[in-house]
A and B are shown apart, each in its own frame.
Chain A
């Protein structure tokens, strides 16, 4: 916490998109994971944090950070043809990050996904269409439960 946190210095953006089937190859989950990894690498260099979910061929991503960087990154996503049907769900100014500890957390549905995670993902996917801020909070708590349950979780401290 510092003096700046009283100002709403960050933007938080939530969008959904579908994976372009023509360009995703044999294993869409792998493509999704690659996107998340590339995104995390990019975010480490910038000041962005966030979370990427992939469920039923659909991306749900949160980007948070300085407004210009959020804007720039979203523009990059809009220029990316691996996404189709890009929908901006929410764009708000916030004073604190929710995903401070994640460059780009990835929650992807694949064969090894536990039943609990799968349910969590489905719930968020449903929530996104109704209440964006609720969906955002749900994503955060799903991440928390994930890092609690697995030792190999993110190096969050």
Chain B
């Protein structure tokens, strides 16, 4: 009670109000700086501690001093200069010491010792200040209030420190500042309640209240300047710090070369969009873009040129998308786009089309022309999925499909694609296993002389029965085996097995084995072939290797050397599927080819189709004049057989003669025939 009556009756309320404002501003600033001190480490912490202590000390002292000036003891008053200055130093020094202790990791030490030191330093500042306050009267101290003031100050300071440590760097400083202000204010007014002055009789009363008001205002100004300096230091520092943090964040989320988002930044943006989908988010499209023919640019024009191409690609992509869409480089030559608010599949496809179009245009870099292209996979959220993993996976599947099958260069995800990919993955695994176990079978299709009808040999055909999926067509599994790099191994196995099987056939019968383009480009092929012949004892002159025209494209140096070597051994070379590919006639005389096999697509349209008939006739004549043998494949009817025989194809094979049969069956067939001829 005495605290309030003292406050009301013995103070100039305007000056008290000024002290209160001082105290509040000072506390808020101090708490902000305390937070910062706690957050820093090392020397920086010491510097912030110094700044905090100076600001808080100025606030504490100014509050006390202004309030003192508002005190009206009713007697003349003088101030002791040295003690007044000392009281200010105590406030600063005590706060600094308390803060350093309050930085301790131990909460108990920090709160009670640190808070206690601050509370006691506020108190000692106050009572030293009171000694500097010389009132001409009988001064009496009430010990109960003194003790109470000490307790209150320590408790409030400790609570304030505890609160500030709890809130970390957040802006929620109200409670902390309130507690700190309470520590200052309760100490002061409880302390003042402990102080009474009884005027001496005969001494003229009253301090010079006008001079005191001016002094109060001056002190308040100086203190505010100190506090202002403290807070502005904090703000400036925070701004530069947040700016450099922003820069760091930008660098972490962007690709340094192209200045578009990087994989990390893109993943974050995708996650944000996916999270938004739950609560009325806009639909969006995810595009993944893979550059075609980029690697040759790096290889032939150099990496610096490749880097410029990537920069231009990023810039073109930003032209192709609408503003607000996100472009990212998520790998070496992989880009991604997130396009917002696309209402329909048609819009998404139009965007993908723009991307393919713009990246298909030529690039000029330092006078060099680079032509690349792009394949694009597209998925739509939330239609195809609403979490990042699913969307990325589906877009990848669409991209994979686009790369393989689409002439437009882009594909929108369809659930059916998953099955295709799934089957392909299973086939890859099974094919590797089959390759290790040599699980392949060979079927043989007999070939007959069209004039006599006698067997001339057989073509070995690769067969694979997958344990889980049944028989798989060669047209499906051979490309996979080629891509996985398994074909040379499989091919070598087939060659060896076929030679073994054919070694038991009658001596006049030949063996034809298919060689894939990958095998043909492998310089070790002649060695593999010779090994197979040696192991089986099958003579080289009875072996014919069938190659396709596509194998002759590209690097024909190696192919030419390989074929020439094979020919030298006495092995014959036939050109398979003639008429379907490039059918360049120059191949026929450049490479050592001994036989042409007319593709079955022509034979099967015989004899009614005039065009096919002319082609077959022309190839037969070509073979005759180049002194090559001609085989017609895929004979199914007697009419076809009659036409072929009439137009001079030497050999024929097809279902009409026999379907492909297994090794035992073909052996039996050939031996029966031989015995029949002998008998």
Q: Is B367's CB under 8 angstroms from A78's CB?
A: no
Q: Which one, B312-320, B329-337, B503-511, is touching chain A? A: B312-320
* Beta-carbon contact of B315 and A86 below 8 Å: no
CA distance A78 to B362 in the complex (A): 8
Asked if B354 is at the interface (CB within 8 A of a chain A CB), the reply is yes
Q: Is B365 an interface residue (CB 8 A)?
A: yes
Residue among B312, B365, B367, B369 facing the most chain A CB atoms (10 A cut-off): B367
Q: Which of B319, B367, B369 contacts A79 (CB 8 A)?
A: B319
The chain A residue with its CB closest to the CB of B315 is A79
- Smallest CB separation, B291 vs chain A (Å): 15
CB distance from A30 to the nearest CB of B (A): 24
Most chain A CB atoms below 10 A, which of B354, B358, B363, B364: B364
- Interface 1/0 per residue, B364-391 and A, CB below 8 Å: 1111010000000000000000000000
B354 and A86 within 8 A (CB): no
- B147 to chain A minimum Cβ distance, whole angstroms, is 81
Which of A67, A78, A84, A93 gathers most chain B CB within 10 Å? A78
A75 proximal to B (CB < 8 A): yes
Q: Which of A13, A70, A78, A88 contacts B358 (CB 8 A)?
A: A78
The answer to whether A78 and B361 touch across the interface, beta carbons within 8 angstroms, is yes
Give B303-331 as 1s and 0s: 1 = Cβ < 8 Å from A's Cβ atoms: 00000000010011001000000000000
A13 / chain B contacts, CB cutoff of 8 Å: 364
B354, B357, B361, B363: which has the most chain A beta carbons within 10 Å? B361
Which residues of B are found within 8 Å of A88, using beta-carbon distances?
Answer: 362, 364, 369
A81 at the interface (CB under 8 A from B): yes
**B361 touching A86, Cβ below 8 Å:** yes
Partner of B367, one of A86, A87, A91: A91
What is the minimal beta-carbon distance from B323 to any residue of chain A, in angstroms? 14
CB <8 Å contact, B362 and A86: yes
* Shortest beta-carbon distance from B259 to chain A in Å: 16
For A11, the chain B residues whose CB sits under 8 A away are 367
A84 cross-chain contacts in B, Cβ below 8 A: 357
Nearest Cβ on chain B to A64's Cβ, whole angstroms: 14
Q: Is the CB of A67 within 8 A of B312?
A: no
Minimal Cβ-Cβ distance residue in A for B357: A84
Task: Find chain B residues with CB under 8 A from A71 CB.
Answer: 364-367
List B contacts of A91 (CB < 8 A): 364, 367, 369
A102 near B: Cβ within 8 Å? no
Cα(A70)–Cα(B363), bound, Å: 12
- A79 with B364: in contact, given A88-B369, A91-B369 (CB under 8 Å)? no
CA distance A81 to B367 in the complex (A): 24
Cβ-neighbour of B316 out of A67, A78, A87, A93 (below 8 A) = A78
Q: Which of chain B's residues have a CB closer than 8 A to the CB of A74?
A: 364
Residues of A within 8 A of B364 (CB): 13, 70-71, 74-75, 88, 91
Q: Which residues of A contact B363 (CB under 8 A)?
A: 75, 78
Q: Are B367 and A93 in contact (CB under 8 A)?
A: yes
A93 to B367 Cα, complex, angstroms: 9
Q: How far is the CA of A93 from the CA of B368 in the complex (A)?
A: 11
How far in angstroms is the closest Cβ of chain A from B353? Answer: 10
Q: Which of B316, B354, B362, B369 has the most CB of A within 10 A?
A: B362
B residues near A81, Cβ cutoff 8 Å: 319, 354, 357-358
Per-residue 0/1 for B342-362: is the Cβ within 8 Å of any A Cβ (1 yes, 0 no)? Answer: 000000000000100110011
Report the minimal beta-carbon distance from B350 to chain A, rounded to whole angstroms.
Answer: 10
Nearest-neighbor residue (CB-CB) of A13 within chain B = B364
| Minimal Cβ-Cβ distance residue in B for A79 | B319
| Shortest Cβ distance from A75 into B: residue | B312
Contacts of A70 in B (CB 8 A): 364
Which residues of B lie under 8 Å from residue A87 when comparing CB positions? 362
CA distance A26 to B315 in the complex (A): 31
How many angstroms from the CA of A87 to the CA of B367 in the assembled complex? 16
- Bound-complex Cα distance A87 to B365 (A): 16
When C-beta atoms are compared, the residue in chain A nearest to B359 turns out to be: A78
Give Cα A87 to B315, complex, Å.
19
Give A78's nearest chain B residue, CB to CB.
Answer: B361
How far apart are the CA atoms of A11 and B354 in the complex, in Å?
Answer: 29
Closest Cβ neighbor of A88 among chain B residues: B362
- B358 vs chain A, min Cβ distance (A): 7
Q: CB-CB < 8 A to B361: which residues of A?
A: 78, 86
- Min CB–CB distance B89 → chain A (angstroms): 68
Give the nearest-CB partner of B318 in chain A.
Answer: A79
Q: In the complex the two chains form, what is the Cα distance from A11 to B367 in whole Å?
A: 8
Give, as a whole number of angstroms, the nearest-CB distance from B372 to chain A: 12
A residues less than 8 Å from B312 (CB atoms): 75
Complex-state Cα separation, A88 to B357, whole angstroms: 14
Residues of A within 8 A of B316 (CB): 78-79
A85-103 interface code vs B (CB 8 A; 1 in, 0 out): 0111001010000000000
Chain A residues within an 8 Å CB radius of B354: 81
| Further 16 A-B residue pairs, CB within 8 A, beyond A91-B364, A93-B367 | A11-B367, A70-B364, A71-B365, A71-B366, A71-B367, A75-B315, A75-B363, A75-B364, A78-B358, A78-B361, A78-B363, A81-B319, A81-B358, A87-B362, A88-B364, A91-B367
**Can you spell out 12 A-B residue pairs with CB atoms less than 8 angstroms apart?**
A11-B367, A67-B366, A71-B364, A71-B367, A75-B364, A78-B361, A79-B319, A79-B358, A81-B354, A86-B361, A88-B369, A91-B364
List 10 tightest A-B contacts by C-beta distance, closest first.
Answer: A79-B319, A88-B362, A78-B361, A86-B361, A71-B364, A79-B316, A74-B364, A67-B367, A91-B369, A88-B369
